[in-house]
Structure 1
Amino acid sequence: MSRRSQGKRSWDVRASVLARNTHNLIRSIVENLQVEPNPNKPLIALSVGDPTVFGNLNPPEQVLQAVRDSIEWSSSRGYGSMVGHQEARQAVAKYSAHQGSVTGDDVILCSGCSHAIELAVTVLADSGQNILVPRPGFMIYKTVAEGLGIEIKHYDLLPNQQWKVDLEDLENQIDKETAAIVVINPSNPCGSVYTREHLTEILEVASRNCVPIIADEIYEHFVFAGHEFTAMSAISKDVPVLTCGGLTKRFLVPGWRMGWLIIHDRQNILGREVRKGLFNLASKILGPSTLIQRALPTILESTPQSFFDEVVLFIENQAKLAFEELQRVPGLKPIMPQGAMYMMIEIKMSQFPEFKSELQFVERMVAEQSVFCLPGECFCYPNYMRIVLTVPEDILREACQRIAVFCQDHIASRENINKIGSNEVALANEACETINV
């Protein structure tokens, strides 16, 4: 007769703490929208940052052919190095020469830029520490960090100064537990492109406080006329920079999941431990697709500059179109981007008193006009919404016209706006008197 196990007597299977504490803010908000589009109008989704959704933007033939050729390589079918094939890593180093002096040994190939971000955060921060993230900013950092017990602290961007970093606020957020500062340039969701001078100011804050930088540069070179992209690592004298990039946006192939992390450490501050830590973390998934790795050197070397120029010009023209249309809409204030693929639009909520938040505003706009924009809540920035600029021109124009109709239908009269404003002042005065008492 077998001896009775001393284990559990009943089923009690639960999700881990990591699983329970991991949330993708954008996905959660999008998937929990309790509203159906207007059945009489086709849905226009200006929400997802995937430039391939509408089929109007496609990679050039050279990129597609590189992958076709890769299929013939026997080495594109098996496992690769956990940090990527050396030839592909060296190709990234050459492609990224504008970022400073790097070799293939400084490059780790990743499963998309989001994987590079995960490596950067987890190699630098432990549970109980914090990383500084821009507000508004892309919330993948929150998704990666909070499940691991890493705190997210926000520093503010300045909407009236083309979303420059509030340097005083940035420095005030730093404490002894700050493990890294995240800088997203060009910006998602703002579309800002920082000047060399402003990046130097950010580096000075990091240097004074001895905090490394995670440079999210997936939109590198995605800049409009009159602006110039400068890599953070190219101008850092002493601050270590982990740069996250990839094929996703610039080459219009997000589904290929090819990203990279580049280590820039002129003063050897990170040392061997951090490098070894990155290799250890990379070993968890044994590197990205070897099919795309084998094609990577050709993709990076053979894609014509004219392709990039055409894509950026198209998006810049889309930004101008949306800005011109929406700046005339009462209750809205679009902020003209300088690059990337997005535009942030302020919703003057006091002029739409029937809505308690921009989330309600966005939900109703889906229900009535079948236009879906991401609410500012997705970026920890209320009273704004973000639109994507990669949709075809006729669809973007139609979306802007529908947004205008929605605002005209719901904006309060001037008399009511003034009344609401007076009530808010009265309540504020009453609160101050209560405090003084």
Structure 2
Amino acid sequence: MSQRGRRTQEWDVRASTLARNTHNLIRSIVENLTVEPNPSKPFIALSVGDPTTFGNLNPPEQVLQAVRESIELHTSRGYGPAKGHQEAREAVAEYSAHQGNVTAEDVILCSGCSHAIELVISVLADSGQNILVPRPGFMIYKTLAEGLGIVIKYYKLLPDKQWMVDLDDLENQIDDDTAAIIVINPSNPCGSVYNKEHLNDILDIASRNRVPIIADEIYEHFVFSGNEFTAISSLSKDVPVLTCSGLTKRFLVPGWRLGWIIIHDRHNILGKEVRNGLANLATRILGPSTLIQRALPAILKYTPQSFFDEVVLFIENQAKMAFEELRRAPGLRPIMPQGAMYMMIEIKISLFPEFKNDLQFVERMVSEQSVFCLPGRCFEYPNFMRIVLTVPEDILREACQRLVIFCKEHIDIGEKCKEIDNNIIPVTNETEFICDN
């Protein structure tokens, strides 16, 4: 018998460079947490942004009925076009009219918003180029880009200015290798909602430097009272914008994995090459679920506005309640969000000398109070943590009260503060909290 092919002395099978360089910070911390919760307290996870976790938020009957009807369709069982069925793309174009002039030809359906993000990064950036990502920001960009050899550069958000973009820092990060600017609005993890003036400032920077924008607008309809969402694409005069969104959050169906990309390119700067590139990349998975695609037109058309209003009002009230409760926690500074479904909380780590960093702080909260929040390192932002606001009201209130107890038990005030009228107040500018003693 002849021997062909390579001959080696030992097996040598390795993971690819892409696999070795792909890391998801959030999943890594959530799935590898080794600290055991306090057995005497029910475990409360305020970590992963899945609004379905506790079962208190559910899609309306119209959404469920659309999928039931789709099951009966012969056309919902086979492969669809890689970019998505025409009727589904037309429905998304109509649904997204607030973003500007959108047609079905501008829409590519994807397997969730994260898949949309992967496609737009992959079509704009090559290995060695960089994309600009907000810090703090959702780290799926790091997960998707670094495995491809694309460099992540961060621009600052300003916590004392409702997480607005540090415009000078943003422009300073741009260089000849910058392929795109990521704008997350409303923000995950911060919950900020940018006004038109601020969005125009961002567009001016992109225009001057000839850099396209990737707009992550999955929370576009999660906006609290007194704030208004504006699609950045609707303001752009010349900057190409690739907008990523989907069903996931607004319709409370993250597991259905249906997202989309909308191409906004008024002056044909991207040209056929980028459009064709997105179409080529879409063929890698042969399109998203046809079952959900066939239901999509009915979902987008018939879901009542009252359902959306109730969900957003619930989350806004949760944010207000959590903010008031956590203001009582010594050493913490909650920042009231304007939208989305999260709240960022500063940890005055110098007042907790037992803990070296936010991860140790969060781990001890789990072991003592059975409350799990995401540490700021998940968003490249140390000494903060993020909580999710979609849990039932009584559970969120209980979690906040436990955080207050935890902080009171572990804070080391020392000489930084003094007691006045039964309250702990700061002596120096280093601390900003006021709490009951």
Could you tell me which amino acid in structure 2 is paired with residue 265 of structure 1?
Answer: D
Aligned to 1:244: 244
Alignment of 1:35-434 (within 5 A): 35-415=35-415
Cα pair 1:221 1:228 within 8 Å, conserved? no
* Pair 97,262 (structure 1): closer, same or farther in 2 beyond 3 Å: same
Q: CA deviation at 1:102?
A: 1.0
CA offsets, 1:387-416, max 9 Å, x none?
000000000000001000000000003337
Q: Comparing both structures, which one devotes a greater share of its residues to helix?
A: 1
* 3-state DSSP of counterpart to 1:299: helix
Cα pair 1:109 1:260 within 8 Å, conserved? yes
Q: CA deviation at 1:3?
A: 4.1
Mapped to 2, the partners of 1:147 and 1:277 lie a distance apart of 19
Mapped to 2, the partners of 1:304 and 1:146 lie a distance apart of 41
Could you tell me which amino acid in structure 2 is paired with residue 381 of structure 1?
Answer: Y
Aligned to 1:26: 26
Cα pair 1:62 1:302 within 8 Å, conserved? yes
* 3-state DSSP of counterpart to 2:325: helix
* 3-state DSSP of counterpart to 2:179: strand
Mapped to 1, the partners of 2:226 and 2:261 lie a distance apart of 28
* 3-state DSSP of counterpart to 1:215: strand
Mapped to 2, the partners of 1:237 and 1:264 lie a distance apart of 10
CA offsets, 1:239-295, max 9 Å, x none?
000000000000000000000000000010000000000000000000100000000
Could you tell me which amino acid in structure 1 is paired with residue 110 of structure 2?
Answer: C
* Pair 416,171 (structure 1): closer, same or farther in 2 beyond 3 Å: closer
Cα pair 1:318 1:390 within 8 Å, conserved? yes
Mapped to 1, the partners of 2:390 and 2:16 lie a distance apart of 38
CA offsets, 1:310-339, max 9 Å, x none?
000000000000000001211000000000
Cα pair 1:341 1:388 within 8 Å, conserved? yes
Mapped to 2, the partners of 1:7 and 1:205 lie a distance apart of 56
Q: CA deviation at 1:28?
A: 1.2
CA offsets, 1:194-236, max 9 Å, x none?
0011000000000000000000000011000010110010110
Bigger mean CA offset, 93-102 vs 25-34: 25-34
Aligned pairs, number: 421
Could you tell me which amino acid in structure 1 is paired with residue 51 of structure 2?
Answer: P
Bigger mean CA offset, 334-343 vs 3-12: 3-12
Q: CA deviation at 1:8?
A: 2.7
* 3-state DSSP of counterpart to 1:69: helix
* 3-state DSSP of counterpart to 1:281: helix
CA offsets, 1:81-105, max 9 Å, x none?
0000000000000000000001001
TM superposition outliers: structure 1 runs of 4+ over 6 Å: none
* Pair 11,55 (structure 1): closer, same or farther in 2 beyond 3 Å: same
Could you tell me which amino acid in structure 2 is paired with residue 24 of structure 1?
Answer: N
Could you tell me which amino acid in structure 2 is paired with residue 240 of structure 1?
Answer: P
Mapped to 1, the partners of 2:46 and 2:18 lie a distance apart of 31
* 3-state DSSP of counterpart to 1:23: coil
Mapped to 2, the partners of 1:129 and 1:413 lie a distance apart of 47
Q: CA deviation at 1:350?
A: 1.0
Mapped to 1, the partners of 2:379 and 2:189 lie a distance apart of 8
Cα pair 1:319 1:343 within 8 Å, conserved? yes
Mapped to 2, the partners of 1:400 and 1:68 lie a distance apart of 39
Cα pair 1:258 1:292 within 8 Å, conserved? yes
Mapped to 2, the partners of 1:352 and 1:119 lie a distance apart of 43
Cα pair 1:351 1:417 within 8 Å, conserved? no
Q: CA deviation at 1:417?
A: 7.0
Mapped to 2, the partners of 1:380 and 1:30 lie a distance apart of 16
Aligned to 1:428: none
Q: CA deviation at 1:383?
A: 0.5
Mapped to 1, the partners of 2:153 and 2:4 lie a distance apart of 51
| Structure 2 residue runs without a partner (length 5+) | 419-425, 431-437
Q: CA deviation at 1:29?
A: 1.7
Could you tell me which amino acid in structure 2 is paired with residue 205 of structure 1?
Answer: I
| Structure 1 residue runs without a partner (length 5+) | 426-437
Q: CA deviation at 1:119?
A: 0.3
Q: Structure 2 length as normaliser, TM-score?
A: 0.95
Mapped to 1, the partners of 2:251 and 2:4 lie a distance apart of 61
* Pair 6,225 (structure 1): closer, same or farther in 2 beyond 3 Å: closer
CA offsets, 1:366-394, max 9 Å, x none?
00000000000000000100000000000
Mapped to 1, the partners of 2:376 and 2:59 lie a distance apart of 30
Q: CA deviation at 1:30?
A: 1.8
Mapped to 2, the partners of 1:216 and 1:98 lie a distance apart of 15
Cα pair 1:163 1:192 within 8 Å, conserved? yes
Q: CA deviation at 1:6?
A: 4.0
Q: CA deviation at 1:173?
A: 0.2
CA offsets, 1:101-157, max 9 Å, x none?
010010000000000000000000000000000000000000000000000000000
Could you tell me which amino acid in structure 2 is paired with residue 339 of structure 1?
Answer: G
CA offsets, 1:136-191, max 9 Å, x none?
00000000000000000000000000000000000000000000000000000000
